Structure 1
Amino acid sequence: MTDNSTRLDHVVLWVRDPAAAAAFYEDAVGLEPLMVAEYAAGKASFPSVRVNEETILDLAPLPLAEYMNMVPGGTESAGHPVNHVCLSFPEDEFDALHARLEERSVSVSGFSYDASGARGPAKRSFYFRDPDGNVFEARHYE
């Protein structure tokens, strides 16, 4: 991949409580929280969590939807269904994520095997929901 290739920068998730969502993604999923203190202090519109060095998930509070007027219909985007977001992990982190979710009584699906993805067939994958109902797939390749 070259430095000029197209990459995923961020995904915005609508959440009821951004600080609680950030805590879930930190504690259960193992992602680094960003701007939580600034959000709590009213200095940022929402916090985020870092997926990797290039990609973050923004955790937008539902009332922010009224300001999403950059395109027609944008204000109605809160709660708009997205099928799922898929995160790929190294195998050991995948297993650790599965264990953390189960420890926290987060419902997880059974494992799927060889599901096709951006890097070909994944060895294993499973699905879970965050506290706001957003569906995630976790997977690992060889």
Structure 2
Amino acid sequence: MQFTQIKETCLYVKDLEQTRAFYEEQLGLEVISFVENSHVFFRAGTSVLLCFLPEVSRAKQSPPPHYAEGKQHIAFEAPQGQYETLLSAIQERDINVYHHEVWARGARSFYFDDPDGHVLEVVEAGMWD
């Protein structure tokens, strides 16, 4: 089997308006779907970030039920040469960057939380190449 990418990633959130404000206004992601009391979806490059209220997606029959609890993690890839620019932009928005990592092959990443406490990471382009 061969896949080209992970197309969607899900996070489970408590407040859709708060989630929308953070990802759209703070991080600049495009909202592609918003259904009150259900979900908000964002475009992130060629991928989609799906944010659901867990109690709603848990009760669905189609598509199959899904949900999660606790601190979930996703990583965004910075465009080539834009890592420092993104780091500065995040910090200028008073978002607490609480960890920096330099990986074995020299790629860097930094970590911050969203309003639900999910662990978000920005990685340099080429990190997994």
**TM-score calculated relative to the size of structure 1:** 0.70
Which amino acid counterpart does residue 69 of structure 2 have in structure 1? G
Q: Which runs of 4+ in 1 moved over 3 A?
A: 68-71
Task: For residue 50 of structure 1, report the CA deviation from its aligned partner.
Answer: 0.7
1:96 aligns with 2:85: yes
Which amino acid counterpart does residue 105 of structure 1 have in structure 2? D
Q: What percent of counterpart residues are identical?
A: 26
CA contact (8 A) 2:71 2:119 kept: no
Q: Of the candidates 64, 67, 71, which is equivalent to residue 56 of structure 2?
A: 64
Task: For residue 81 of structure 1, report the CA deviation from its aligned partner.
Answer: 4.5
- Per the alignment, do residues 98 and 68 of structure 1 end up closer, same or farther by CA in structure 2, a change over 3 Å counting? farther
1:18 aligns with 2:16: yes
Q: CA offsets per residue over residues 19-65 of structure 1, 9 Å max, x none? A: 321221122222211113xx24x7xx312111112x11111123314
Q: What is the 5 A alignment of 1:49-88?
A: 49-53=42-46, 55-67=47-59, 70=64, 74=66, 77-82=67-72, 84-88=73-77
Please give the secondary structure, in 1, of the residue aligned with 2:96: coil
User: Where does the alignment leave 5 or more consecutive residues of structure 2 unmatched?
Assistant: none
Name 2:115's counterpart in structure 1. 131
**TM-score calculated relative to the size of structure 2:** 0.75
Give, in whole Å, the separation in 2 of the partners of 1:95 and 1:32: 22
* Structure with the bigger percentage of strand: 2
Give, in whole Å, the separation in 2 of the partners of 1:101 and 1:124: 15
* Structure with the bigger percentage of helix: 1
RMSD: 2.6
Aligned length: 123
User: Where does the alignment leave 5 or more consecutive residues of structure 1 unmatched?
Assistant: none
CA contact (8 A) 1:65 1:78 kept: no
